[in-house]
Amino acid sequence: MSADPVPAPAELAGKLITPDGSRYGLLRSTYTTVGRPAVVVLPQSAADVAAALRMARGRRLPLAVRSGGHGLSGRSTNNGGLVVDLSAMRRVEVVDRAARLVRVEAGARWARVARTLAPYGLAISSGDHGNVGVGGLATGGGIGWLVRHYGLTVDRIRAVEVVLADGTITRADPGTDPDLFWVMRGAGGGAGVAVAFEIEAVELREVGFAQLAVPVDPAGETLRRWESAMTQAPRKLSTAVTLAAQGPSVTAFITAVVASDSPAAIRRALEPLLGIGRVMVQQAHLVPYTELVSTAHLHPNTGQMRSTTTNGLFTETGPATARALVEAATGPHPVLVQLRSLGGASHDPAPSATAFAHRHQRTLAVVSAFPPDDRPTTAAAWARLAAHADGAYVNFESDPDETTFARAYPGQTGARVAELWKRYDPDGLLRGRAD
């Protein structure tokens, strides 16, 4: 650590992990990035988080905050700084079953949230992998398996417990600090450290789960038909598409989730997909929601998935966009292309309701590449798509910068986010710089 003489706060005794500690190897990194922080703090309460922030400020250490460590940017670790690892703050509690109100601490993983809520017949739409931490997803957006039925995770947050950069512990809800409540739902990482959320769940036990494989033509008309089918589909249906290339041939592997346990409703919801092309594989069955974000996903994050990822939101997949997506998957330096359907409940809130302002786009497209040439490969693939994109989702970005900020927080939303970040963290502690 720094030679700065500021002592560690007494309340953090036994909660500091340094490079010579036996647990350091499992706590220093994220899913995509190997880090070498000077110290990892494992707080057990909001007061501990406040003490950790004071320690970072007092010792002038770069700060990173981690809920799960699954973020693609790797910013929840650093080199030579202090990491606040919230993994010990993972309690999940049903506060009011009748109102379906759940309190979830930010260090919980979504697999454990789903498992805890299952006996109550409740679920929260929460991304697509059980190892993702609650805090990072619930402050950035939350495009999950139920997005068209449930909306984004941020849309169902009813209150956030926050530690501000100066160590103040506060609660934000519509009646108490509405500005903080607004910014924490979509752009929370620059305003404060979320330590717990009150979230409205939905009644859900089992869902329809289907997997289809459809050949994709070089012009990408299959993808356009998929998007059109989703526009007409009931909001109970959400889908994700992965493009897999073998030479010039591309197959769309579609995962479909129907928020219903009725076989008849599931069949009706899936019907639009059957007309987008020649379906090669088709299987559908009922599964518990917990299988989608399974506890089998839980694992340590040790930098095992190094990659570069970027993304864009598309209002309409026109001919040029569709062809560019296929070319990205099949070019001389192909990338992994994934698509997620939007619409339905995710379009219900007004664009100004939360810091996630993207309420009209139909599709999220994510492109990823892997070492050794991941950065130039991703950049080249995205260059074909960038002109067609209409916004971006901050949680699927490896290298967020000012350009990413403008795409993720357009126009007046960006101006308001920047003003609130400055208000709640005037020194830029949470953003890794002094403004």
What is the model's pLDDT at position 6?
A: 67
What is the model's pLDDT at position 127?
A: 87
Same fold, 13-88 and 92-204+415-426: no
Start-to-end Cα distance in the chain: 24
Q: How far is Cα 293 from Cα 130, in angstroms, rounded to an integer?
A: 4
What is the model's pLDDT at position 272?
A: 93
Tokens of 341: 């359907």
pLDDT tens digits in sequence order for the chain, 435 residues long: 444 456 889 999 999 999 999 999 999 999 999 999 999 999 999 999 999 999 999 999 999 999 999 999 999 999 999 999 999 999 999 999 999 999 999 999 999 999 999 999 999 999 899 999 999 999 999 999 999 999 999 999 999 999 999 999 999 999 999 999 999 999 999 999 999 999 999 999 999 999 999 999 999 999 999 999 999 999 999 999 999 998 889 999 999 999 999 999 999 999 999 999 999 888 899 999 999 999 999 999 999 999 999 999 999 999 999 999 999 999 889 999 999 999 999 999 999 999 999 999 999 999 999 999 999 999 999 999 999 999 999 999 999 999 999 999 999 999 999 999 999 999 999 997 433
Can you name the CATH fold of 13-88? Answer: 3.30.43
Q: Where are the domains of the chain?
A: 13-88, 92-204+415-426, 206-399
- Percent of the chain at pLDDT above 70? 98
What is the model's pLDDT at position 282?
A: 83
Q: Looking at domain 206-399, which of 1.25.10.10, 3.40.50.2000, 3.40.462.20, 3.40.640.10 is its CATH number?
A: 3.40.462.20
Whether the pTM exceeds 0.75: the reply is yes
**CATH assignment of 92-204+415-426?**
3.30.465.10
